[in-house]
Amino acid sequence: MSRSIVRQSKFRHVFGQAAKAEQSYDDIRVSKVTWDSSFSAVNPKFLAVIVESSGGGAILVLPLSKTGRLDKNYPLVAGHSGPVLDIDWCPHNDNILASCSEDCTAMVWQITDHTPVRHLTEPVVILEGHSKRVGIISWHPTARNILLTAGSDNLIIIWNVGTGEPLISMDDHPDLIYSVCWNRNGSLFCTTCKDRRLRVCDPRKGDVVAERLAPHEGIRPMRAIFTREGNIFTTGFTRMSQRELGLWDPTSFEEPIALLEMDTSNGVLLPFYDADTNIVYLCGKGDSSIRYFEITDEHPYVHYLSTYSSKEPQRGMGFMPKRGVDVSKCEIARLYKLHERKCEPIMMTVPRKSDLFQDDLYPDTAGPEPALEPEEWLAGRDEGPVLVSLREGYVPPKSRELKVARKNILDSRPVPRRTMSSCDGSSLPPQFVEKLLEEIQSLKATVLSQEKRICDLENKLSKYTNGTA
């Protein structure tokens, strides 16, 4: 009787391949700040990299098509007064980028489709609420305009970017927060902390619903992410400083589903998870390799697939959402590896002979439309992501402007009130008041006309640069 020894999986032969030299992004001065973030974020339109900059923090944002050597005077996103620590693209608008910094603020930026002509220094909204540096930023996966920030003040704040207001503030962590990750529908998030605890938090209740002390026995930083099934995948260190990965069921934290020892190295393992294939890619800072594992419901639950190796160590990594991969080449993932002076795309491919669309490799994936409005999510409603098919490929939509209701921001701030005596109308003649009102109206009209003119010119420039005019 014959028995199959090799585990059956369509992802067993996934291989990584670096892009050609002319398809890389050269002459990028990657940030040297000592912070364990990925330093890069990517979506189907843009690549964003945290770069070295004098006089504060800066982000380089490039259209994916702008490969090759970078002009040293290329405009940057430069509004922070301190080094930028983390960045994240909005999952529901490919032109919206969020950043956080040592200057204790988070900022949200509107990136135009056409090539900028000067540095972008004015964010759409500035989020101020932390008293120390803000090191983690993460968009809600299904609700519009909901953004999470975590700072060195051990505070987690959830914002409504559409109004610039903090909705929820949680101070359950007694020490530095290492990582935060939402689950698939955004009802919970998990955190790892310097106190060596893994926590699962319900933000709308403001509670920690589950926690586990020392999922990894070492004192080095941990990372944790939610899987599609609701389990938690962690990376950390053993007591002997060996790197280790684990899979946990948050409803019963006593014993791990799986626990695997890896190698001995100092670099923190950054996990990048693909919910459609259940593959997790592990990228260690300072490593020159990317290991990838498949998570299944069969023992041993976390299956080693292969390793992509190269000569150069990585300073950071960006992970493309599934809607940005090339389905015609059976590409299931694309990572953007940061070297000291360049960024190199790495394609993960399943070898197939047929050129037809592979249904089994590309189930419907999370699209760019939000499933919920901020008010619905805050009221307790949960929805999974709105799915789209990749059969015809994915074409990013045109730029959509982020609307910010600034009046809400002003309403939420206390306004100093004057006494009746200091506002006595008798001290100002009526003719002077009327003249002031007329001048204000005239200035408002001028500003509105100039804004319309600027908008028209930007649209015309966009048409020319996109070749549609």
Examine residue 132 and state whether it is found in any structural domain, yes or no: yes
CATH of the domain at 249: 2.130.10.10
- Whole-angstrom distance, CA of residue 30 vs CA of residue 19: 19
DSSP 442: H
Examine residue 73 and state whether it is found in any structural domain, yes or no: yes
Examine residue 393 and state whether it is found in any structural domain, yes or no: no
- Whole-angstrom distance, CA of residue 46 vs CA of residue 39: 14
Determine the residue type at 440. Answer: I
- Whole-angstrom distance, CA of residue 247 vs CA of residue 258: 5
**Residue 44 CA from chain centroid, whole number:** 13
- Cα–Cα nearest to 99, from 154, 65, 147, 157: 147
Would you say 152 and 176 are in contact if contact means Cβ atoms under 8 Å apart?
yes
- Whole-angstrom distance, CA of residue 276 vs CA of residue 413: 43
Residue 170: give the domain boundaries: 15-379
Examine residue 427 and state whether it is found in any structural domain, yes or no: no
Would you say 117 and 125 are in contact if contact means Cβ atoms under 8 Å apart?
no
Token pair of 92, please?
């529901």
Question: Residue 245 pairs with which residues in a beta bridge?
Answer: 235, 260
Peptide bond into 300 cis (omega under 30): yes
What does pTM read for this prediction? 0.84
Token pair of 370, please?
């939000």
Distances in Å between the alpha carbon of 261 and those of 1, 180, 246, 306, 395?
34, 23, 9, 16, 41
- Strand 68-69 to strand 25-26: parallel, antiparallel, or no bridges (unpaired)? parallel
84-110 b/e with 16+ CB inside 10 Å = b?
Answer: bbbbbbbbbbbbbbbbbbbbbbbbbbb
Examine residue 174 and state whether it is found in any structural domain, yes or no: yes
Instruction: Give me the tens of pLDDT residue by residue for the chain, a chain 469 residues long.
Output: 344 466 888 999 999 999 999 999 999 999 999 888 999 999 999 999 999 988 778 999 999 999 999 998 999 999 999 999 999 999 999 999 999 999 999 999 999 998 888 999 999 999 999 999 999 999 999 999 999 999 999 999 999 999 999 999 999 999 999 999 999 999 999 999 999 999 999 999 999 999 999 999 999 999 999 999 999 999 999 999 899 999 999 999 999 999 999 988 888 999 999 999 999 999 998 999 999 999 999 889 999 999 999 999 999 999 999 999 999 999 999 999 999 999 999 999 999 988 889 999 999 999 999 999 999 999 999 999 999 999 988 877 777 777 777 544 434 443 333 333 334 444 456 667 777 777 777 777 777 777 777 777 777 776 666 665 5
Count of domains forming the chain: 1
Examine residue 445 and state whether it is found in any structural domain, yes or no: no
Examine residue 293 and state whether it is found in any structural domain, yes or no: yes
Examine residue 47 and state whether it is found in any structural domain, yes or no: yes
- Whole-angstrom distance, CA of residue 115 vs CA of residue 368: 23
HSE-up (13 A, CA, CB side) for residue 77: 26
